[in-house]
Amino acid sequence: IWNVYGECENIGVMTGHSGAVMELHFSSDGNHLYTASTDMTLGLWDFIAGTRIKKLKGHTSFVNSVGGARRGPTQLCSGSDDGTIRVWDPRKRGQCYTLNNTYQ
């Protein structure tokens, strides 16, 4: 994590993915961070403590994107090279909904 003001100093490192992080987003309150990785997982992080709260598994290929709901309970949406978009509720185990795409 970098402070981009002033000297651009590194203020912390969050470890937990075994692959590259493809995308990340902050929660609307700024307390959590959502990550998408080439290790086929999503990460839900406590930004203040610098620790991973949850590892979400279900995709069968690289996860390229992640986004969080702007209002209401925490829900995440992810897109993957496996051709699916998945909707997640971190309070539950596994994804809530899967949209399949059979593109060619």
Model confidence at 82: pLDDT above 80:
yes
User: Where does 2-100 sit in CATH, by number?
Assistant: 2.40.10.480
CA distance 85 to 23: 15
pTM of the model: 0.86
Residue 43 structure tokens? 């990460």
User: What contacts 54, CB < 8 A, 6 or more positions away?
Assistant: 43, 44, 90
pLDDT tens-digit profile of 13-66? 889 999 999 999 999 888 999 999 999 999 999 988 989 999 999 999 999 999
Residue 61 structure tokens? 């290929």
